[in-house]
Structure 1
Amino acid sequence: MNNKVTMIMVMTVDGIVVKNNEDVSEWTSLEDQTHLRTSLEKFDAVITGRKSFFGRVVDKPYFVLTNDKKYLEDERIENEEVVHLSGEAGDVTNKIFEMGYHKIALIGGPKTNYEFLKNNLVDDIYITVEPKMFGRGKHLNIQEELGCSLFLLDSKRMNSQGTMLLHYKVNNNDCEESVEDLCAPKKVPDMNDKELMLINRDFWNERAPLHEKSNYYNIDELKYGKLSLVDYEIEELGDIKGKNLIHLQCHIGTDTISLAKLGANVTGLDYSESSIKIARELNDKCGETCEFVCSDVYEVRKAVGEKKFDIAYVNFGAITLLPDLNKWAKVIYEILDDDGYLYLNELHPVSSVLSVEEPLFVADYFSKEPRMFEESGSYADGVTDRFNVETKNNKIIVWDRTLGEIISIIAAQGFRIEFVHEYSGYVDQRFNYLEKSSNGLWYPTNGFPNTPATFSLKATKR
């Protein structure tokens, strides 16, 4: 398991990190205090300095660094919740890792933080900047030599007063690697399409249990009746009561179950065994009657037998995982009734070639070559927090197409295109410059223009 230290700190605009040796909660915003508590919940343990320790903020083990013998020798203070340690920063950190704590939050004062940065022990930093200027106090500048390169992963305005949250990756090797580099495509292995799809299946098998617990999928709300579908999907699908609907590449089944709640007779299909297992369990908990089938989408006819469907439903992030879109369109045509239709609600191809940092093209929109990405975590964790989630199967291969190519392939199979609609709202924080709107979708901020985020398409069998 990977070991990681994340520094969490707060300062004023003029660099004050400690004012009159008082608890920072005396002068920081409510938003920062909430951020600290929710952030610390994600870690195994907390390291802090003696002078910066004002009590436990969360129910996690605390390791307090001190050279004061009074604290080190007082056995009454030594317990499972608060342990006082002395020694070099590196030795102390290794000792904590050896105890089985692998994700560590560092919330020390200037001296403690300096020691960890000096010894290249910090992987990333969250800095809250409060819109205050104290003039006097302990500054972030500790008047010591420190060569440390930071690369901005994310920035967020936390309140109307202007409190800012900055997330930096610490580059301990002085190589200029930004989040753009972390998200850059890698060389695709020399394998056939089936082998590449198996790499993708392993990726989703590992992500499914993470997604079951994530706030992004919000399974608890689904259990209580809230639909996971985007508003325009419900409008464009219309009345689907009593319709036989198949949801292809359904993942853990949240949208599948939502479609059932609208009255359709739904079958969900996915090649990820763990996704289907979770979908079946969720279906039972929600009291729905969906049928879930584990199968490669190209083998859908074999998986469902001679059954025909009124609607084939496909949504976000599905078709980019398929090497042969012609075959995909053909099998959908074959499983639909004569008056059936395909409803596709997908990420817009333009969104796959934009920079993470700003809406600029960083890849060839017309490229025909597959791309492989390698990163831990998933979109459910956000564009930057995904790097804090430990996963093993981190390779995923995508096949990009232009919007015109997608429409043409579907039409060539005999479908009549009823409509194609384009939308500017993203379903997740795909890029750093997006902020969540009241409708649950994410839009550009800071004056950035809207770009195509998703598109929907309805194609009827002739």
Structure 2
Amino acid sequence: MNREHMIHTNLLRWNEMTSIHEKSAFYDVAKFKAGACTLKSVELDEIGDVTGKSLLHLQCHFGMDTMSWARRGARVTGIDLSDKAIALARSLNDEMGLDARFLCSDVYDAPAAVGGEKFDIVFTSYGVLCWLPDLDAWARVVSDSLKPGGTFFIAEGHPVENILEWDNEALKVAYPYFDPAPIECASDTSYADRTVKVAHTVTYQWQHSLGRIVGALIGAGLTIESLKEYPFSAYEKYPGYMEQGEDGWWRLKSQEVNVPLLFSIKAAKAK
């Protein structure tokens, strides 16, 4: 299976997901339109004040996080592969009178899509790395998009979370931790609404170890300032076996299981 076919297959899936996600309680577009911030505590605490700063959001989906950064004073650009998602992002942006810029582009073509512009902050989060076949090229995009002294931040599902599945009331290893080969996945619903059946059921995803992620960023010339791991997830990764706290994070119900479900990395480009 060639890479172009796999990426196109994923695009078809995400284009279909966009209309489902727009209507879902998970994304709650109505609440966002009313002024809610979709950003989570991990990125808000780590990135801090963005007033007046330029921010590039890679793999932004339909842009609610991007526009949340705009509401906090950043000059934002969101990029996503899905033309349906970018169209929805632009529509929401215009409806709310915000000044976010949205561009449809493969993440690897982001520097060309923005015309070589450099940013104070490059941001990406929650379910992004599994769609990327080439981490080294991705890390170079991050580095090339930053101004000298600029900050990169990612909050993402932990690689350990991605290899586990619930089986007979226990977490078991279902996928290899170290494996560069693409994984063909099949699902007839979305994480955002498991009641809606989808037509494009197949996706191709890649597993990246934490060391591989860190190594790619270092290899691209970035300095790691912080690496944190957390015992909670941004969504109900294992349906029926997790519960959502008042803080919005999802945790395993079993107190006997203690594995990392999320990580964040903050890195800097040399001045």
Question: Structure 2: where are the runs of 5+ without partners?
Answer: none
* Count of aligned positions: 267
Matched, 1:307 2:117: yes
Q: Secondary structure at 2:171's aligned position in 1? A: coil
What residue in structure 1 maps to residue 46 of structure 2? 236
* Contact 1:443–1:450 under 8 Å retained in 2: no
What residue in structure 2 maps to residue 23 of structure 1? none
What residue in structure 1 maps to residue 161 of structure 2? 351
TM-score (normalizing by structure 2): 0.95
Question: 5 Å matches for 1:203-218?
Answer: 203-218=13-28
Matched, 1:219 2:29: yes
Which of the two has higher C-alpha Rg? 1
| Aligned AA (1:398) | Q
Matched, 1:333 2:140: no
Q: d(CA) in 2 for partners of 1:293 and 1:311?
A: 17
Q: Secondary structure at 1:222's aligned position in 2? A: helix
Matched, 1:279 2:89: yes
Deviation at 1:359, TM superposition (A): 2.4
Per-residue CA distance 1:198-222 (angstroms, 9 max, x = gap): 1111110000010011010111111
Q: d(CA) in 2 for partners of 1:323 and 1:394?
A: 19
Deviation at 1:285, TM superposition (A): 2.5
Deviation at 1:254, TM superposition (A): 1.0
| Aligned AA (1:359) | L
Question: 5 Å matches for 1:362-377?
Answer: 362-377=174-189
What residue in structure 1 maps to residue 222 of structure 2? 415
Q: Secondary structure at 1:439's aligned position in 2? A: coil
Matched, 1:454 2:262: yes
Deviation at 1:301, TM superposition (A): 1.5
Matched, 1:253 2:63: yes
What residue in structure 2 maps to residue 267 of structure 1? 77
Q: Secondary structure at 1:258's aligned position in 2? A: helix
* Contact 1:222–1:286 under 8 Å retained in 2: no
Question: 5 Å matches for 1:124-203?
Answer: 190=1, 192-203=2-13
| Aligned AA (2:252) | P
Q: 1:401 aligns with which of 183, 187, 208?
A: 208
* Contact 1:424–1:451 under 8 Å retained in 2: yes
Q: d(CA) in 2 for partners of 1:410 and 1:447?
A: 34
Per-residue CA distance 1:94-116 (angstroms, 9 max, x = gap): xxxxxxxxxxxxxxxxxxxxxxx
Q: d(CA) in 1 for partners of 2:78 and 2:225?
A: 24
Question: Residues 209 and 410 from structure 1, CA distance in 2 versus in 1: closer, same or farther, beyond 3 angstroms?
Answer: same
TM-score (normalizing by structure 1): 0.56
Q: Secondary structure at 2:65's aligned position in 1? A: helix
Deviation at 1:350, TM superposition (A): 0.4
